[in-house]
Amino acid sequence: MSIAKNLEDIKATFFDSECLLVAVSKTKPIEDLREAYEAGVRDFGENKVQEIQAKQPDMPDDTRWHMIGHLQRNKVKYIAPFVHLIHSVDSFKLLKEIDKQGKKVDRQISVLLQIHIAEEESKFGFDQAELNEMLASADFRELSHVNVIGLMGMATFTENEGQIRKEFKGLKQLFEKLKSENLPEFVKMKELSMGMSSDYLIAQQEGSTMVRIGSSIFGARNYN
Ligand SMILES: *Cc1c(COP(=O)(O)O)cnc(C)c1O
């Protein structure tokens, strides 16, 4: 099955045709990314800074790089000059570092706040208390080189559709609630990044504006 055909098949199933497809190309060779690019994809998701750095020079300039994995503060500087959107901001400390690096390269860096919605402890993200604390703090209002444009979440890895739907619903509710709150200018709740190969249809039904799809496009990942 070709990458172009996979993309076409996936798009044909979309519940929401306006929803952005971010092609998750982690572990995949540059030839695969080029094939997706040729088929019209411009948004690519990676979860390792080193891998984005390695691939970025080999792709056309209008490629939009999405950082979707856990990001260490000491690595922000490597992607700050070109990253399109960081989906995985999971602490205030990380957000402050992105702001600092944005200032250095004179860019407003767009980010999503990753919210912990799954049952598993292993997944990253803010819980409600951490989020409220950050949003209410004076330091938060001082940020100048980040645009917080929405939220990201990953549902529990389960076959239980009801549970996945409930978690996505909860994230959408939080998204709507934040929309109505009086937050600084640089916070605008526009994007809701939820859904992967196994659950993107549920996510779209629950209001996702961006799905992050990897294995259904590029095939299973080989981690050796
Ligand atoms: C790997 C990854 C995906 C894509 O997963 P697939 O199941 O291959 O579609 C989506 N989001 C995040 C955060 C990921 O790390």
Chain segment 76-127, per-residue pLDDT in tens: 999 999 999 999 999 999 999 999 999 999 999 999 999 999 988 777 899 9
The encoded tokens of residue 88 equal: 């995985």
Average pLDDT of every residue of the chain: 96
Q: Ligand 1, from 68, 117, 208, 210: best to mutate by most atoms within 8 Å of Cβ?
A: 68
pTM of structure? 0.97
How much distance in Å is there from the Cα of 82 to the middle of ligand 1? 21
- Contact between 147 and 188 under an 8 Å Cβ cutoff? The reply is yes
Which tokens sit at 63? Answer: 């490629």
Pair 204, 211: CB distance under 8 Å: yes
For residue 59, give both structure tokens.
């792709």
- Given this model, what pLDDT does residue 147 score? 98
> What are the DSSP E strand ranges found in 101-180?
109-115, 146-153
Domain 3-218: CATH superfamily is Alanine racemase (3.20.20.10)
CA of 87 to the centre of ligand 1 (A): 12
Residues 153 and 169 sit within 8 Å (Cβ to Cβ): no
pLDDT digit string, tens, across residues 179-224: 999 999 999 999 999 999 999 999 999 999 999 999 999 999 877 5
| 24 CA → ligand 1 middle, Å | 6
Region label for 198, one of left (φ > 0), alpha (ψ between -120 and 50) or beta (otherwise): alpha
Amino acid of residue 210: M
> How long a stretch of residues is the chain?
224
The protein residue whose alpha carbon is closest to atom 4 in ligand 1 is 214
Residues in CB range of 140: below 8 A, 6 or more apart:
92, 134, 184
Q: What is the pLDDT of residue 224?
A: 57
Report the atom number in ligand 1 closest to the C-alpha of 221: 8
Q: Which tokens in the block code for residue 175? A: 């998204």
Q: pLDDT tier at 26 (50, 70, 90 boundaries)?
A: very high
Nearest alpha-carbon partner for 216 in 12, 56, 16, 30: 12
Q: CA 78 to CA 50: how far, in whole Å?
A: 8
Ligand 1 is surrounded, with C-beta below 6 A, by 24, 26, 47, 68-69, 154, 196-198, 212-216
**Nearest atom of ligand 1 to the alpha carbon of 26:** 1
